[in-house]
Structure 1
Amino acid sequence: MGDSRPLHIYEMENLSGTPHIMVGIQPDDLFRQRNAVMDLARFFAQSWNNDQRPSSADTTILLADFQFKFDLLARGLPSRFAPNINRIRKELPSLFAALPFVLSHGDLNMTNVLINPKTGNITGIIDWAESRILPFGFALYGLENVLGWMDSEGWHYYDYHRELENLFWKTFQGEAKNVSNADMHLIRAAKMAGIFCQYGFALDTKGVVQNVRTERDGSLAYLNAFGIISEWTPNLPTYDAL
């Protein structure tokens, strides 16, 4: 009251769908799992096809920021994560030099992925408040979330998670332009980097890093599930089961 400045009102379209986490897709519901995986692959392919590379100076600053973050992770996380952290640290310059830069979702969990509850098809992705322009692949940690579920006992993959993962990559490569084998190696490295950035740090409400997570933090359950694997390359596709 008493302020002469104009009041701006913004209107946006209401997205249909239900948060993925609320639909309760069962482990044997291959039909809806498959639709969600293929739509997520198309979402990432569209991202790949729209490079938004920043200036060389901004890229250098961004790379230095992530090198600092992985130095923190190397010092702060338990030693079982060290092999993959060290691999990522070596790959970081290549990720920032060779991959396209895209709008990367900062919180691609299953609360923010809306789906058609009957078919599993993705109808929208919401909550972009923490998004940043980053090398492609840093948001691919979200793929794991459509391949299984977390409960009090830890992470559980769907029975057909390997086939679903291969279906994701087949769909992605079918719609993304000019993806080479060298690109795929870097994409998988970026995916692992994103997993550590997403689950290795405690963040404040604005997405700013506060500290490295400890053994007492429940989010390490995700790193235990995704961050220790030694082989980042999926098995060769076998689609007959799908």
Structure 2
Amino acid sequence: MAVEGRSREEDHSEDISKYAAKAGSYDALSAHQISRFFNRHKFTTKADCSRMAAEILKSPVSPTQIQGGHSYTVAADSGQAFNVVQFRSSKLDVELVEHAKQSYGDFVPNCKYLGMLGDVHVYVWDLVPGPAFCRVRRQFLNLAMQQRLRQTVLDFARFSASAWIKNPTIRQSSASVEEYSRTLDQISHGLPDRIRWKLDEVRQGLPLIFRPEYPKAVQHDDFLENNFHVNEATGHITGVVDWADAIFAPFGVSLGGLETILGVQTSNRWYFHPHHVELMAHFWDTFYGEIGQISAQDRRSIEVARLFGLFRTYGFEEGDARIVYLEALCML
């Protein structure tokens, strides 16, 4: 897989941690997101939210370190509460979150809807321990931290496999071969032949993931570095948050979260961890060890779904960035 003349077998001594954003960058982002949230909501103030959350948590509260683009989340200052309170611009599909809980178990925090405060929706979530991965990413990508990163990769494999193993039939997926094919058609415009060839291969495989016997699953669909937490000392994933964009779709379309763990995306490059090939092998060994024996057709289906998800996520980036990302992520 080539990226600007370099293969996926990167220099095994290169330290890519320097390309990851520092924790302070996320502090600034969170402050901006909080300001924007309350600028949008004229009938609910930050003080209103603090008063309500303090009553719920029985403690003064402060914003959590990581915020969302359409929500405001606070935790107890006392450190004794086991919950956080979240105020959202739009209502969550709590039923879908509940099904995610059934599929992924303790990786998903419990959620309870409390109604509205002014013009925002109020939820209580379990407090997920440990920092968001984005805040320790620079440490984990350092070569000296490879064992912790390996544990994160193994936990992501177990997380991903859970949706195959515990797969309750909950609803019909609105997705279809035709819809996915149209998405790939949109992405294909302007792609170099070498990438379009891979995209066409994925398009030809789409009927595999819409077979009646192929599982559909609740999937996070936004598995970014700020949306899961880790134990800083061990690398274990302690929970996955922000399920607002969860989807019910053919299994595997969100497996691209592995690339988020193993690399850093800049404006014009994707930098992989020097040992990412080995770490990816650990992922797949653990993943298939968890789900057990499956057919060659199902294995091919999982790969088609994974590649479709990567094309859909990065194929709409602007300018040359999309070519760089797709080259790095999809060209096996």
- TM interval, shorter chain, is 0.7 to 0.9
Distance 1:7 1:195, change over 3 A: closer
Shift of 1:16: 1.2
Among candidates 48, 64, 86, match of residue 178 of structure 2: 64
Counterpart residue identity of residue 17, structure 1 = G
> Which aligned pairs between 1:62-211 and structure 2 lie closer than 5 A?
62-97=176-211, 98-151=213-266, 154-201=269-316
Counterpart residue identity of residue 328, structure 2 = A
1:18 aligned residue: 131
Shift of 1:77: 3.8
Q: Following TM superposition, where does structure 1 have runs of at least 4 consecutive aligned residues deviating by more than 6 angstroms?
A: none
Relative contact order (alpha carbons < 8 A, sep ≥ 6): 1 or 2 greater? 1
Counterpart residue identity of residue 313, structure 2 = Q
Shift of 1:73: 1.6
Shift of 1:21: 2.0
Please give the per-residue CA displacement for 1:176-208, whole angstroms capped at 9, x wherever unaligned: 14423322222112111110011113xxxxxxx
Distance 1:27 1:185, change over 3 A: farther
TM-score, length-scaled by structure 1 = 0.77
Unaligned runs of 5+ in 2: 1-42, 44-113, 117-121
Overall identity of the aligned pairs, in %: 31
Distance in 2 (CA, whole Å) between partners of 1:219 and 1:125 is: 27
**Contact 1:52–1:133 at 8 Å: present in 2 too?**
no
Distance 1:60 1:15, change over 3 A: closer
Distance 1:75 1:155, change over 3 A: closer
**Contact 2:173–2:248 at 8 Å: present in 1 too?**
no
Shift of 1:71: 1.7
2:327 aligned residue: 224
1:235 aligned residue: none
1:206 aligned residue: none
- What RMSD over aligned residues (CA atoms) do the two structures have, in Å? 2.4
Question: 8-17 or 136-145: which moved more?
Answer: 8-17
1:205 aligned residue: none
Please give the per-residue CA displacement for 1:48-88, whole angstroms capped at 9, x wherever unaligned: 11335577xx5585322112111212235444420111001
Distance in 1 (CA, whole Å) between partners of 2:169 and 2:201 is: 24
Shift of 1:162: 1.5
**Contact 2:219–2:249 at 8 Å: present in 1 too?**
yes
**Contact 1:27–1:159 at 8 Å: present in 2 too?**
no
**Contact 1:52–1:100 at 8 Å: present in 2 too?**
no
**Contact 2:218–2:249 at 8 Å: present in 1 too?**
yes
Shift of 1:148: 2.4
**Residue aligned with 1:145, SS:** helix
Unaligned runs of 5+ in 1: 202-212, 232-242
Please give the per-residue CA displacement for 1:100-122, whole angstroms capped at 9, x wherever unaligned: 11112221111112111121110
1:215 aligned residue: 319
**Contact 1:34–1:164 at 8 Å: present in 2 too?**
yes
TM-score, length-scaled by structure 2 = 0.58
> Which aligned pairs between 1:227-242 and structure 2 lie closer than 5 A?
227=330, 229=331, 231=332
**Contact 2:191–2:323 at 8 Å: present in 1 too?**
no
Considering only CA atoms, is the larger Rg found in Structure 1 or Structure 2?
2
> Which aligned pairs between 1:45-64 and structure 2 lie closer than 5 A?
45-52=161-168, 58=172, 62-64=176-178
Aligned length: 211
Distance 1:61 1:133, change over 3 A: closer
Counterpart residue identity of residue 120, structure 1 = G
Distance 1:199 1:151, change over 3 A: closer
Distance in 2 (CA, whole Å) between partners of 1:61 and 1:43 is: 23
**Contact 1:18–1:117 at 8 Å: present in 2 too?**
yes
